[in-house]
Structure 1
Amino acid sequence: MSINLPLILTLAVLITGLIWLYDTLVLARPRKAALEAVDQQFSKLNIADDQKQVAYAEAQQAAGREPVLVEYAKSFFPVLLVVFVLRSFLVEPFQIPSGSMEPTLDVGDFILVNKYTYGIRLPVLNNEVIPVNEPERGDVMVFFPPHQPDTYFIKRVIGLPGDLISYNNHVLTINGEVVPEKLIAELPAGNPTYRLATETIDGKEFTVKKDLTPGGLSVRGTWRVPAGHYFMMGDNRDNSADSRAWGEVSENAIVGKAFAVWMHWDSFFSLPSFDSVGKIQ
């Protein structure tokens, strides 16, 4: 079972914020009264200044002591709130778990996702409340797929609502127009099993990886993208479960636009690398 981090973060912000508010409105009143009583008591005492100051400080500390739960809530709430706002409405980090977007993104890449490019959405519910832009062909997008609505996926936008998409023996056609492909190399050298090539969609050029023998999802298929949906494909065309397998992605399942790689880290026992840092094409 996947962990719903947005829900956990939202609940943490609400709980700590409510505890702080309850303390401000209810629990703080007796402490304030106790502090005022300490002030009145010590104003009438006739003791040495140094002794008076020590005793006064101790009495104030005891009278104004907050419950442990309130202390923790006040400590964590500001940090949680900042993380909540950044993660929900501005930028969210992700780690690439599979090779479906090779060679654009490798397993272990840490990426940044713009959360407002495609509109401001409510946390957890993911409903759009402020429209901004709509996905464009060629964008690299994070979303919830229809077959796993609680799991983040990342693929490239290939088809917009109403588009007719065909993919036959590695030839991509959008609305009757073949997407241009330019061979880069066949690898490994001497005994190639796949090729790297560039494709250009609506002026966006990116690199794709295709086995020399088309896989099952690359042999033949035609799809009409429904209204309010997007057709997604991985750049590793023969090793990507995408809209060719489980259908189009609803606009209500959009998370954001991936725009940069900021670190690569293969595993816990390896050192992070910053060689691949840069903009996602």
Structure 2
Amino acid sequence: MSALTAVLYAALIAYLGGWYMDMWHGNFSLLLFILSVVTGLYWLAEIFRFKPAREKAAIQLESQDAARRAELAKQGIDRVDGDITQARERLLMQPWWLDWTAGLFPVIVVVFLMRSFLFEPFKIPTGSMIPTLEVGDLILVNKFHYGVRLPVINKKIIDNHAPKRGDVVVFRYPMDPRIDYIKRVVGLPGDEVSYLNHELRINGQPVPVTPLGEQYDDLAYRYMLRFSERLGEVDHRIQQEKTPLSFNGSRYDFAFRDQCRHSLEGVVCKVPAGNLFVMGDNRDNSEDSRYWGFVPDENLVGRAFVVWMNFGNLGRIGAFH
């Protein structure tokens, strides 16, 4: 193994180890891009340099063996010991370090392209979207629903569907874009969204809700009120505390903060162009646009649409609309 390959392996192990130990926040998209480039270079080197060199060495071995046998034949020796088949196979065999670089290139580049342009898996870490999504749900996100973006830099190059009220979206957290959040779209550009005393209104009109009774929340260790809510064309469930909570206001200085009015009753915001107002379905246990402001369009990652696994509850698997 060359010194360069050893250094690359060491750098990868150090990066992943530090990420695992929370010494820094990793960027999986960037990591996949770098791995695709590096393994791609090894793949090209294997095709145009390493493999031809091994084949040349095997041909040289065969030539030397043929020359030796011819020389012995001249001396009247017809039976010659020694079979070069095994030696030839060893010369042609791909070294393990090439198998773990060039050999992995097709797999890594397929994963990178699928994750960048088609679908990306996420794990729900908190209860902010209960009862729609629970902690431990593994979801899939449609990366092209809102348009095709270049990986790593997230630059949109092809437009597609516009976000709709009721969509469940994954986005880069505006306060720290290294972190991905998931919430439900409530307000679109130009909407006035108000959430006062547990009542959600859009452009002055109350959002229709139907009481579903009480449900015990295993995460909060208490009973919560459940409702069916209709946002746009989407019917979904939400939950609230039985005793209304006063709004504590926002501690964040976010973009377009002047478009929001905060009070003890809640918040009223005018959604700026190119932005969304999002909320969690667990209304009293979700830090969302009421607190840290709007989600810019460029922060969108994609539209969540299915739970593909929950190892603690297989009954969770399926679409959640």
Find 2:238's aligned residue among 208, 211, 216.
208
In structure 1, distance between residues paired with 2:117 and 2:244 = 40
Do the aligned partners of residues 39 and 248 (structure 1) sit closer, same or farther apart at CA in structure 2, a change above 3 Å counting? Answer: same
Find 2:269's aligned residue among 216, 223, 246.
223
Alignment of 1:77-92 (within 5 A): 77-92=105-120
Find 1:166's aligned residue among 158, 182, 194.
194
What corresponds to 1:26 in structure 2? 49
What corresponds to 1:6 in structure 2? 29
What corresponds to 1:268 in structure 2? none
In structure 1, distance between residues paired with 2:229 and 2:267 = 19
In structure 2, distance between residues paired with 1:97 and 1:219 = 29
Matched, 1:94 2:101: no
The answer for unaligned runs of 5 or more in structure 2 is: 1-23, 71-77, 217-221, 249-263
Report SS of the residue matched to 1:275. Answer: helix
In structure 1, distance between residues paired with 2:275 and 2:289 = 11
Computed over aligned residues only, the root mean square deviation of the Cα atoms, in angstroms, reads 2.1
Which has the higher Rg, Structure 1 or Structure 2? 2
Asked whether the equivalents of residues 258 and 280 of structure 1 are also in contact (C-alpha less than 8 Å), the reply is: no
Amino acid aligned to 1:177:
Q
Amino acid aligned to 2:320:
I
In structure 2, distance between residues paired with 1:183 and 1:17 = 56
Range moving further from structure 2, 146-155 or 33-42 = 33-42
Paired residues in the alignment total 269
In structure 2, distance between residues paired with 1:273 and 1:83 = 27
Shift of 1:106: 0.8
Q: After superposition, what is the alpha-carbon deviation per residue over 1:36-60, rounded to whole angstroms, capped at 9, x for unaligned?
A: 32333334425659x56x31x2332
Shift of 1:276: 1.3
In structure 1, distance between residues paired with 2:62 and 2:299 = 59
Report SS of the residue matched to 2:304. Answer: strand
Find 2:152's aligned residue among 100, 118, 124.
124
Normalised to the residue count of structure 1, the TM-score between the two structures is 0.88
What corresponds to 2:314 in structure 1? 274
In structure 2, distance between residues paired with 1:97 and 1:71 = 35
In structure 1, distance between residues paired with 2:28 and 2:171 = 15
In structure 2, distance between residues paired with 1:120 and 1:160 = 20
In structure 2, distance between residues paired with 1:226 and 1:214 = 29
Find 2:103's aligned residue among 75, 80, 93.
75
Shift of 1:221: 0.8
Q: After superposition, what is the alpha-carbon deviation per residue over 1:50-78, rounded to whole angstroms, capped at 9, x for unaligned?
A: x56x31x2332344344443222122222
In structure 2, distance between residues paired with 1:195 and 1:167 = 17
Find 1:141's aligned residue among 154, 157, 169.
169
What corresponds to 1:196 in structure 2? 226
The answer for unaligned runs of 5 or more in structure 1 is: 266-271
Range moving further from structure 2, 135-144 or 10-19 = 10-19
Asked whether the equivalents of residues 170 and 214 of structure 1 are also in contact (C-alpha less than 8 Å), the reply is: yes
Amino acid aligned to 1:2:
H
Identity %: 41
